[in-house]
Amino acid sequence: MGMRGKVLGLTGDEAVAYAIKQVEPDVVAAYPITPQTIIVERISEYVANGEIKTEYIAVESEHSAMSACIGAAAVGARAFTATASAGLAFMWETLYIAASCRLPIVMAIVNRALSAPINIHCDHSDSMGARDSGWIQIYCENSQEAYDAAIQAWKIAEHPDVLLPVMFCLDGFVLSHTLENVHTLPDEDVKEFIGERKFVKVRSHEGREVPFVLDPENPITIGPLDLYDFYFEHKRQQVEAMKNAKKVIVDVGREYGKISGREYGLLEPYKLESAEVAIVGLGSTMGTAKVVVDKLREKGRKVGLLKIRAFRPFPYEEVIKELEHVEVIGVLDRSLSFGAQGGPLFLEIRSAFYDFERRPLISNYVYGLGGRDMPPDLIMQIFDDLEKIKEKGRVDVLLKFIGLRE
């Protein structure tokens, strides 16, 4: 299996656009922003050439992009958008609305730093700023993963136990503009895998069981005023949906493995067996880090890494299972949470181990802001540092900046 599709030379953006072409959503509403532009340009071309029947809405802003996706998804259409940085920040209000209206929209985020100062290069400040918006977040290591996520996302988002929008993230320029060999699936395999969008039943105000979609024959009200008497319960339902998403992400990843030969889960352990120190991170840097781990392993050093794929829902239990034997953990963050003890991923990992009886030493490394390079020797330094911490038996400096001129 997995041998039926073509291998294409694609940049990350092109890989996403190609997957979306195969999915052929009903509506794409998007606004260009570097480094996402190639995605919307390619999709526009597919539409212009009649290769897909998608309605392309060239909206006048990202706020309207997400709003149009909300309208389209509410009427039963499949809706896709893509953005980065300022565009995602501009969407902030509507991100929450999309998630809270339980609309299974799919969005590609091509990670880019936030202003000011304006910077077009990669870091994760944009998507990390949206981590509490109620969206599922999947981080991709390479273009292949971006292609695969662009297909799986629909099945996760639309699952009746989930009904939450999904954003999958790929690093700006590092992935978006870099050519890679991408194994694609045949169009019909993608279409079959995704299937038709189905609708859960809800009780309408007229007392009937009706599909959860704007349908003139079965009127429902979406997005009402919801005050202290019910709002809280609705938020609780979103918490449940996020919890359910963990199993669904794994199931969908497994099912996808059957048709592609590439199986996915919530996270990916790499050479963690017998590892004494390990780094945890997400995104393209994990590709570089794997090479570093290989080199160090060759030298007999007991190192490994854990790549987080799903940041929301966050796989706490799975993280502990993978890392329970590790003595020192270095968490790599490509964004900051100003005023906090460390970056967003660090806070999650440290909190995950709070109830674990044998807590490992955990240290935080912030790197790559505004596109600052993260070459192998810097990752090597982190492993050196982790081993030093292990010898000392304590973490002296919780948060360190990697590759920074002090």
Partner 1 sequence: MSGEKLSLKDLARKRDLLAPGHRLCAGCGAAIVARLVMKATRGPTIVACATGCLEVATTIFPYTAWRVPWIHSAFENVASTASGIEAGLKALKRAGKLKYDHVDVIAFGGDGATYDIGFQAISGAFERGHDILYVLYDNEAYMNTGIQRSGGTPKYASTTTSPAGKVIPGKLELKKPISHIMVAHRIPYVATASPAYPLDLMRKVRRGLEVEGPAFIHILAPCPRGWRFDPRYTIEMARLAVQTCVFPLWEAENGKYKLTGVSRSIARNPKMKKPVEEYLKRQGRFRHLFTPENRHLVDEIQKIVDEEWNWLLKMCQLS
Which residues lie near partner 1 (CB under 8 A)? 26-27, 29, 53-55, 57-61, 63-65, 67-77, 79, 93-94, 97, 101, 205, 214-227, 229-230
Q: Report the candidate in 152, 124, 89 with the shortest Cα–Cα distance to residue 334.
A: 124
Structure tokens at 2: 């997995």
CB 282 within 8 A of CB 311: yes
Q: In whole angstroms, how close is the CB of 225 to partner 1 at the nearest point?
A: 5
| Triad 308, 271, 312: Cα angle to 5° | 10
Complex with partner 1: residue 195 or 219, whichever CB lies closer: 219
**Main-chain phi, psi angles of 268, to 5 degrees:** -135, 110
Q: In whole angstroms, how close is the CB of 67 to partner 1 at the nearest point?
A: 4
| Triad 300, 302, 304: Cα angle to 5° | 120
Complex with partner 1: residue 75 or 291, whichever CB lies closer: 75
Complex with partner 1: residue 72 or 326, whichever CB lies closer: 72
CB 285 within 8 A of CB 374: yes
Q: In whole angstroms, how close is the CB of 125 to partner 1 at the nearest point?
A: 24
Q: In whole angstroms, how close is the CB of 229 to partner 1 at the nearest point?
A: 8
Complex with partner 1: residue 228 or 338, whichever CB lies closer: 228
Complex with partner 1: residue 226 or 317, whichever CB lies closer: 226
**Main-chain phi, psi angles of 369, to 5 degrees:** -70, 140
Complex with partner 1: residue 180 or 215, whichever CB lies closer: 215
Complex with partner 1: residue 234 or 254, whichever CB lies closer: 234
At how many degrees (to 10) do helices 37-48 and 12-23 cross?
A: 40
CA distances 201 to 211, 213, 220, 224, 227, Å, are 4, 9, 11, 18, 23
**Rounded CA gap, 148 and 234, in Å?**
31
Q: In whole angstroms, how close is the CB of 17 to partner 1 at the nearest point?
A: 18
- In whole angstroms, what separates CA 100 from the centre of its chain? 18
The total of other beta-carbon atoms located within 10 Å of residue 381's CB is 15
Q: In whole angstroms, how close is the CB of 43 to partner 1 at the nearest point?
A: 14
Complex with partner 1: residue 43 or 305, whichever CB lies closer: 43
Q: In whole angstroms, how close is the CB of 28 to partner 1 at the nearest point?
A: 9
Q: In whole angstroms, how close is the CB of 213 to partner 1 at the nearest point?
A: 8
Complex with partner 1: residue 68 or 149, whichever CB lies closer: 68
**Rounded CA gap, 6 and 189, in Å?**
12
**Rounded CA gap, 275 and 102, in Å?**
41
**Rounded CA gap, 257 and 356, in Å?**
32
| Residues in a beta bridge with 183 | 7
Q: In whole angstroms, how close is the CB of 333 to partner 1 at the nearest point?
A: 31
Structure tokens at 209: 């069981």
